Amino acid sequence: MQLFIDTADIAVLKALAETGLVDGVTTNPSLIAKSGRQFIPTIAEICELIPGPISAEVAAIDAPTMIKEGEKLAGIASNVVVKLPLTFEGLKACAHFASQGIMTNVTLCFSVTQALLAAKAGATYVSPFVGRLEDQGADGIELLAEIRAVYDTYGYETEILAASIRTPAQVKAAALAGADCATLPPGVFRDLVKHPLTDKGLEQFLSDWKGTGQSILGELG
């Protein structure tokens, strides 16, 4: 499963990119506003930093303007993915971009039928919002599994991008449900590597090694 980072914070992305484990980035108007930076230059810098897919969202609500905005965004770099809302206007724009070979991410998906329409419109990615659904008492992971079943049954190539992820447990569940990708806040991404037994084991190993009085580098030198 590919792991994307959901942020527009360049400093954070630079630090996480050093792990070699970041496959892409998703942004939205709220994240751009939080960064306090200009939209276009920020997307351009992210595209240079991370070679994978970078989702940049349109601000319009009508298809003709979405298309104009999306074309401008796609012109920033070859790895830009035009992010569109899951509305009929957004799906019209999605179909247009699909015909032009421009990648799209249809966002704010909360049902299987919405995901079906996104696939029919030729979306590259569809983003079901797991956390927001579970905030309302619904089963966001079950939605991922149901979308997976529908896509596999009919051979749709749209990738399932699990969004609104809040915990490492949801990342695990999304992977088991068959999501192709997940986009994570930086904190959740960092938490994926953590486990108390790992910390305990490493502490013991280091203590035992220190007691030997040896140095690997010293011996190699």
Phi-psi region of 105 (alpha: psi -120 to 50; beta: other; left: phi over 0): beta
DSSP-based three-state secondary structure for 27: coil
Tell me if the pTM is above 0.85: yes
For the chain, how long is the longest CA-to-CA vector? 70
Would you place residue 21 in the very low, low, confident or very high pLDDT band (cuts 50, 70, 90)? very high
Q: Is the pLDDT score of 178 beyond 70? A: yes
CA distances from 187 to 42, 70, 91, 184, 191 (A): 21, 29, 32, 8, 6
Go through the chain and tell me how many residues it has.
Answer: 221
pLDDT at 168 over 60: yes
Residue 150 pLDDT: 98
Give the pLDDT band (50/70/90) at residue 124: very high
pLDDT score, position 221: 53
The residue-averaged pLDDT of 42-61 equals: 97
pLDDT, tens digit (0-9, with 9 covering 90-100), for 85-119:
999 999 999 999 999 999 999 999 999 999 999 99
What is the mean predicted confidence (pLDDT) over 45-58? 97
pLDDT band at 220 (very low <50, low <70, confident <90, very high): low
pLDDT of residue 217: 87
Instruction: Just list the catalytic residues.
Output: 83
What's the pLDDT score for residue 7?
96
Q: Give mean pLDDT, residues 25-29.
A: 93
C-alpha to C-alpha distance for 48 and 127, rounded to whole angstroms: 24
Task: Could you please state the CATH topology (level 3) that the domain comprising 2-194 is classified under.
Answer: TIM Barrel (3.20.20)
The pLDDT, as a whole number, for residue 218 is 80
Q: What is the pLDDT of residue 44?
A: 97
pLDDT, mean of residues 187-206: 95
- Taking CB atoms within 8 Å and a gap of at least 24, the contacts of 201-206 are none
Average pLDDT over residues 149-159: 98
Which pLDDT does position 18 carry in this prediction? 96
Residue 188, pLDDT above cutoff 80: yes
